[in-house]
Amino acid sequence: MTDEIIKEIKQLKEDKNAIILAHNYQPKEIQEVADFIGDSLELCLKASEIDDSDIIVFCGVNFMAETAAIICPDKKVLLPDNRANCQMADMVSLEELKQAKEENPDCEVVLYVNSRAETKSEADIVCTSANAAKVVSSLNSDNFIFAPDHNLGVYSAKAAGKDAIIVPEDGHCYVHTMFKPEDIENARREYPDAKIVVHPECNEDIKELADYVESTGGMVRLAKDPEIKQLVIGTEIDLVTRLKRENPDKEFIPLRADAFCLTMKLITLEKIRDALLEEKFLITVDEDIAAKARIGIERMLNLSK
């Protein structure tokens, strides 16, 4: 049955001139059918370079598909399941962000890509976990407004030597904040020769205990280091799926076996096939909002190329 669905997907891709982009947190079967796998920054860059496809099927969550639609206004962007949302992206409202700007008129606004299109329209520049420190360092203002992830805001401010006004104060990713110090202590005992890498969205005490702090794209690059044979991964569990496939001679251990992003797992092969067949669910962004949001996204992309 699975082989038949994959065959249908390949044929539909050809018939519809489509490309499939998948985030690192997608499960094995989705990674294997994708044309490109990456973190948020890599997916943004890839979307901005697509010239020869009419349809982008985005295997991720809603803010990612929205960002692709903003970058590629001439393409149809499809999200195979329209319930695939990111809780963090909804943690900051447009009103909160506007109020923070009014109260801090001398601060530039850095918005994490994990946010909705309407809030991106109020940003001076967008960032991902891979380039947050670089983005913050590029600012003209001494301090900055950051939304919506508290831990990434603190991390990027520290790296750039600036102060962050974080909106909201408790914005977070529920997957990355589930990691606890005892998880690292247990990994050290069980795998004494392993290195431990965690995501910038993790809490400060976790980042301080780890050997490395990297975005998922950074973890992919770290995994290729010939000096590292055993790596404990502190992020969503399906990054381990990709790392194992790409580095079969190494051992990768999830820091927690229950680190699942549930909405990432809503995407299935059947839904990809149906999305292509029926051209659903089409992601659209209001033209005025998209035009404003595109400014901050393109500023980030230009800094990252």
φ, ψ of residue 66 to 5 degrees: the values are: -60, -45
Q: Which residues contact 72 (CB under 8 A, 6 or more apart)?
A: 47, 48, 50, 56
User: Quick one: what percent of the chain has pLDDT higher than 70?
Assistant: 100
Give dist(CA 123, CA 114) in Å, integer.
13
Whole-number pLDDT of residue 305: 77
Segment 35-62 shows an average pLDDT of: 96
Tokens of 164: 């962050």
Whole-number pLDDT of residue 180: 98
Q: Which band of pLDDT confidence, cut at 50, 70 and 90, is reported for residue 304? A: confident
The span from the first CA to the last CA of the chain, in angstroms, equals 41
Asked if 79 contacts 58 with a C-beta cutoff of 8 angstroms, the reply is yes
pLDDT in tens, 147-184: 999 999 999 999 999 999 999 999 999 999 999 999 99
Whole-number pLDDT of residue 188: 98
Could you check whether the bond before residue 260 is cis, i.e. omega within 30 degrees of 0?
A: no
Asked if 261 contacts 43 with a C-beta cutoff of 8 angstroms, the reply is no
Fold agreement between 88-172 and 176-254:
yes
Level-2 CATH architecture, domain 176-254: 3-Layer(aba) Sandwich (3.40)
Whole-number pLDDT of residue 147: 98
- Mean confidence (pLDDT) of the chain: 97
Topology classification of domain 88-172:
Rossmann fold (3.40.50)
User: Quick one: what percent of the chain has pLDDT higher than 90?
Assistant: 99
Give dist(CA 68, CA 49) in Å, integer.
11
Query: Residue 12's closest CA among 286, 275, 296?
Result: 275
DSSP assignment of 140-167 = SSSSEEEES-HHHHHHHHHHHT--EEES
φ, ψ of residue 73 to 5 degrees: the values are: -65, -15
Please name the residue that has the structure tokens 């999305």: 275
pLDDT in tens, 200-241: 999 999 999 999 999 999 999 999 999 999 999 999 999 999
Whole-number pLDDT of residue 1: 83
Under the phi-then-psi rule, with left for phi > 0, alpha for psi from -120 to 50, and beta for the rest, what region is 225?
beta
Give dist(CA 207, CA 17) in Å, integer.
43
Give dist(CA 56, CA 59) in Å, integer.
9
Asked if 201 contacts 173 with a C-beta cutoff of 8 angstroms, the reply is yes
Domain ranges in the chain are 2-85+264-285, 88-172, 176-254
pLDDT in tens, 77-113: 999 999 999 999 999 999 999 999 999 999 999 999 9
Asked if 202 contacts 184 with a C-beta cutoff of 8 angstroms, the reply is no
Give dist(CA 93, CA 118) in Å, integer.
9
Sheet of 212-213: strands edge to edge? 212-213, 195-198, 230-234, 251-254
Superfamily of domain 2-85+264-285, CATH level 4: NadA-like (3.40.50.10800)
Helix (H) or strand (E) holding 291: helix 287-304
H-only helix segments in 167-215 = 181-190, 204-209
Whole-number pLDDT of residue 142: 92
Q: Which residues contact 149 (CB under 8 A, 6 or more apart)?
A: 88, 112, 114, 171, 172, 173, 201
Segment 281-294 shows an average pLDDT of: 98
